Structure 1
Amino acid sequence: MSKVVLGGGLSGLSAAYYAINKFPNQVITLLEKSDRLGGWLKSTRQDDGSIFEQSARTIRPSGEAGANTLQLLNELGLNHEIVPILKNSPAALNRMIYVNGKLHLLPNSLGSLFKKQEPFSKPLYRYFLNDVFATKKKIVDNDESLYSFVDRRFGTEIADYLISPMVCGICGGNAKEISVKFLMKSIFEKEQEYGSVTRGIIADFFNKKEKVTPVYTQLEQRANTEKWSVYSFKNGIETLPNALRKEVSSKGVKIDLNQDIQEIEVHKKSILVNKADGTVLLANHLISCIPALSLAPLLKKQHPYLSKMLSSFETASMCVVNLKYNKKLLQQEGFGFLVAPKENLPLLGVIYDSCCFPYEDSTILTAMLGGFKFNTYFNEKTTAEEVLSIVTKNLEKILNISDQPDNFKVSILNQCIPQYTVGHSKKIGLIEDYLRDNDLPLSLCGASYYGVGVNDVILSAKKAVDGL
């Protein structure tokens, strides 16, 4: 009996971890196409000790997925590596948007909801009152865009100034195309069932069952007591995949890098992984943790319907630019700012790394560009120098930073982040039905399917293994 994990990113390493713990006497093999593990998570330490992150840099401790990750970290012995950002810190409280040619601090307290604050034309509470009086709209196929839902329930300014920039920051996506179920599934379902979000919340309050006192793990208790907003690690986010690699290797998982897979044959009782070198790997189950678009061609010959469904998933490309200045340059501390799409800039947002994790007498920023607008501003001939020039010009315009960075790193990440467009949940359901109806020994997990965040991909790996 053996199992194959396809892909050595965070979801693949997590799947290997959960699989070897559940099946300690089975052969678990992890296949990775590249020469390294960790996927898009990459932390590069500079000569001066600062850390440049290629993609995600922080993790949220809240919710089911957040609790699961904290449990994993506890099992990996990473408790003392964690560096939290507390809820009362400027990096947690001060989040900004760039709209109408200016930076605006977003409301960050209960009291601020009752004050008029630019760029909004009225206090925020009045937008949320719209939901009380807005009429329910029956949605075709039980899905709509995030922008459409927020616009009709809470108003255009909330959709333009809050939701659209937030979606850019999370997945580089266009809120007018991204499914409402990507971020607001529960409140969308409340509206569809009760006629409004507010009535749904009230109904849930009166219909809720007796509250069960949660049992917190050691790290959850610490996160609650210390009031973490988000957290990372002393040596960067890549600490997590590195720890997983070390753990699964020590428990006997076989890790094969530089593996070029030509085709996967999925039968009812077995999996045949055909490699480019002519060898074949036999297993009784495969957990695919690679992007849907990468898996699709491997299944096309034997399962054309499944391949077609997988190939219909959408992705976006990003440019990530890390910059370091050897002096303090920011006029206001905070987590950073996001750019409203209506500004028509290539820049999606900028994270103030040196505010989140302070460095003495320096400013470290990470700029994100592209996303759903990537093809408007960039192409395969775009150079790192051109990307850097775009960033520095925008930083001068928005933050009044005219200095050239003392150190920088430009990463152009092609098709790096899935886009959960309208109809995504329906596609997932059809794929799950196909796997179940054909009794195929194939499980899917990772960012393509059940969430793009660090917590999401880890939990999807755990659920895939739990279902075996």
Structure 2
Amino acid sequence: LTPSDVISPSPARTHQTRFVISPSGRPAALTGPLSLLRSGVLNFRELVRALLEIFVRPKFPPDNHETLYQFAARRFGRAVAENLMLPMATGIWGGGAESLLARHAFPVLPEMEIKHGSVVRGLLAKALTRKKQLPPSPSAQASQQWPKGLLSFPNGMQTLVEAFQENLNRWGKENQDCLEILQGQPVVSIESATNNRIRVNAAHEFDAVFWTAVPWKSQSLQWDIPEAAADWQRWFATPQHSLVVVNVAGRKSSRTQNGFGVLARRESTALLGVLFVHSIYPQHVPEGFYSYRVLIGGDRRPEAIGWSDEELRKYTLAELNRLELLDEHQEPADIQIVRWQNVVGIADCNHDERLKSLWRIQARYPGLYFAGIYKKGVGVADALQSAADAVQEWKMRETTLNQGKGA
């Protein structure tokens, strides 16, 4: 798979509109400054404060421990941090705006402040650059840089598994007697072996091992080097959020809403946000049908991960009806529920030290590589880029080793 195989959200303007739950409890379209005023998301004074961001002096030197909430409050005012940035973080990470570091969560924002002195000036410069931008060169197109933001595949996320299976089968046919697939055997130990190899579960040796699971779910993993075990334990204190994803689908009605989705404010009981799948990825939904992907739990209601299917169903339908997204007289055709226990890690003020611990482990175990949503971000694009980076690390090491053998 390459970046050219993915699909980004529909570029149609009406399909890109974001909504946030207004003080009245109804979705308010974020189409511009005046929409914030009309919906009550910001009052006149708060809007003026936000528009004056271009005149706010940049912070030098930058505060590396500034949270996403603090950054937004400093640049745009507390109302923007509370009513826009906090809901945005809730929809992506299940909460944590007040502990997520800005440079990890949205690195482009502090980068704009550093480079242009203002986020608004940075956005204007980016827009001008985009207009003048030349088509990418073949070498740039060939590089493994995955698109940013939300993305999927034409046939859904199963494409990843199918591509992996296809490549594995092909490699197995070309390298018979070199492929062994172990199923249902959790990794319980990692040891260093001779010739810089990695021994897994005290029995299987490999030239390269790629670890993609979140570390805090493997707290019983044993290491033969005490310092590596101590570094691994640093990840166990990572703030974690559990999410429940409820997908509700049915025939469209007069209430079906187009757009990107709805962000939930702090006052929300358990709702984190709603994605309009039929609008974002129309190719994934049959013609004439809607599909809402509802996110529940996070730091709003951590115990929601333990709710029964019936409790989740009732809560989800009640919220969608409250937001006037469903026809209350028409039952959905399908409801699917998926639970993700402690899957989202928050990149807080200790995240840098956690990343350094992985580097130290890798230095002690040449051939061990880390990739996954716990390193740079929780999106599919972040995970794919993390995997591409890990493979690039492996290729560079292989090249270095081969050059050493030939010397």
Category of TM-score, reference length = shorter chain: 0.7 to 0.9
Query: Are 1:284 and 2:210 an aligned pair?
Result: no
Letter of the 1:266 partner, please give it: S
Give secondary structure in 2 for the equivalent of 1:359: coil
User: Does the Cα contact within 8 Å between 1:317 and 1:374 map onto a contact in 2?
Assistant: no
Query: Are 1:106 and 2:33 an aligned pair?
Result: no
User: Does the Cα contact within 8 Å between 2:103 and 2:109 map onto a contact in 1?
Assistant: no
- Classify 1:203/1:392 alpha carbon distance in 2 versus 1 (closer, same or farther; 3 Å): closer
Structural mapping, 1:286-301, within 5 Å: 286-300=209-223
Structural mapping, 1:198-347, within 5 Å: 214-215=136-137, 232-252=152-172, 254-266=180-192, 269-274=196-201, 280-300=203-223, 302=225, 303-340=228-265, 342-347=266-271
Letter of the 1:461 partner, please give it: A
Give secondary structure in 2 for the equivalent of 1:251: helix
Counterpart pick for 2:287 among 351, 360, 370: 360
User: Does the Cα contact within 8 Å between 2:274 and 2:293 map onto a contact in 1?
Assistant: yes
Give secondary structure in 2 for the equivalent of 1:297: coil
User: Does the Cα contact within 8 Å between 1:306 and 1:434 map onto a contact in 2?
Assistant: yes
Match of residue 419 from structure 1: 346
**Within 1, Cα distance between the matches of 2:62 and 2:149?**
35
Gaps of 5+ in 1: 1-13, 15-67, 74-81, 206-210, 221-227
Q: Alpha-carbon deviation of 1:443? A: 1.3
Moved more, 446-455 or 419-428: 419-428
- Classify 1:270/1:234 alpha carbon distance in 2 versus 1 (closer, same or farther; 3 Å): closer
Aligned-CA RMSD value:
3.5
Q: Alpha-carbon deviation of 1:445? A: 0.8
Give the structure with the larger helix fraction. 2
Give the structure with the larger strand fraction. 1
Query: Are 1:175 and 2:100 an aligned pair?
Result: no
Letter of the 2:311 partner, please give it: E
Match of residue 11 from structure 2: 87
Give secondary structure in 2 for the equivalent of 1:256: coil
Q: Alpha-carbon deviation of 1:297? A: 2.9
Letter of the 1:244 partner, please give it: F
Q: Alpha-carbon deviation of 1:461? A: 1.6
Gaps of 5+ in 2: 128-132, 143-147, 173-178, 395-407
User: Does the Cα contact within 8 Å between 2:372 and 2:386 map onto a contact in 1?
Assistant: yes
**Within 2, Cα distance between the matches of 1:360 and 1:445?**
37
User: Does the Cα contact within 8 Å between 1:297 and 1:307 map onto a contact in 2?
Assistant: no
User: Does the Cα contact within 8 Å between 1:114 and 1:125 map onto a contact in 2?
Assistant: no
**Within 1, Cα distance between the matches of 2:291 and 2:119?**
40
- Classify 1:195/1:260 alpha carbon distance in 2 versus 1 (closer, same or farther; 3 Å): same
User: Does the Cα contact within 8 Å between 1:99 and 1:343 map onto a contact in 2?
Assistant: no
User: Does the Cα contact within 8 Å between 1:86 and 1:230 map onto a contact in 2?
Assistant: no
Q: Alpha-carbon deviation of 1:400? A: 5.8
Match of residue 8 from structure 1: none
Match of residue 401 from structure 2: none
- Classify 1:443/1:425 alpha carbon distance in 2 versus 1 (closer, same or farther; 3 Å): same
Q: Give identity over the alignment, percent.
A: 23
User: Does the Cα contact within 8 Å between 2:242 and 2:305 map onto a contact in 1?
Assistant: no
1:48-74 per-residue CA deviation (whole Å, 9 max, x = no partner) reads: xxxxxxxxxxxxxxxxxxxx622xx3x
- Classify 1:439/1:354 alpha carbon distance in 2 versus 1 (closer, same or farther; 3 Å): closer
Letter of the 1:395 partner, please give it: L
User: Does the Cα contact within 8 Å between 1:295 and 1:310 map onto a contact in 2?
Assistant: no
Q: TM-score, normalised by structure 1?
A: 0.68
- Classify 1:389/1:301 alpha carbon distance in 2 versus 1 (closer, same or farther; 3 Å): farther
**Within 2, Cα distance between the matches of 1:266 and 1:128?**
57
User: Does the Cα contact within 8 Å between 2:256 and 2:290 map onto a contact in 1?
Assistant: no
Give secondary structure in 2 for the equivalent of 1:143: coil
User: Does the Cα contact within 8 Å between 2:250 and 2:333 map onto a contact in 1?
Assistant: yes
Whose RCO is larger (CA < 8 A, sep 6+)?
1
Q: TM-score, normalised by structure 2?
A: 0.77
Q: Alpha-carbon deviation of 1:451? A: 2.1
Match of residue 43 from structure 2: 121
Q: Alpha-carbon deviation of 1:191? A: 4.3
**Within 2, Cα distance between the matches of 1:310 and 1:190?**
30
Letter of the 1:445 partner, please give it: A
User: Does the Cα contact within 8 Å between 2:358 and 2:370 map onto a contact in 1?
Assistant: no
Counterpart pick for 2:75 among 145, 153, 158: 153
1:275-297 per-residue CA deviation (whole Å, 9 max, x = no partner) reads: xxxx7101233221111213453
Q: Alpha-carbon deviation of 1:165? A: 1.5
Counterpart pick for 2:308 among 383, 386, 392: 383
**Within 2, Cα distance between the matches of 1:389 and 1:454?**
29
- Classify 1:86/1:216 alpha carbon distance in 2 versus 1 (closer, same or farther; 3 Å): farther
Query: Are 1:444 and 2:366 an aligned pair?
Result: no
Give secondary structure in 2 for the equivalent of 1:152: helix
Counterpart pick for 1:453 among 357, 365, 379: 379
1:286-315 per-residue CA deviation (whole Å, 9 max, x = no partner) reads: 221111213453145632222222323332
Moved more, 308-317 or 343-352: 308-317
**Within 2, Cα distance between the matches of 1:125 and 1:250?**
60
Query: Are 1:466 and 2:388 an aligned pair?
Result: no
Moved more, 235-244 or 407-416: 235-244
Give secondary structure in 1 for the equivalent of 2:83: helix
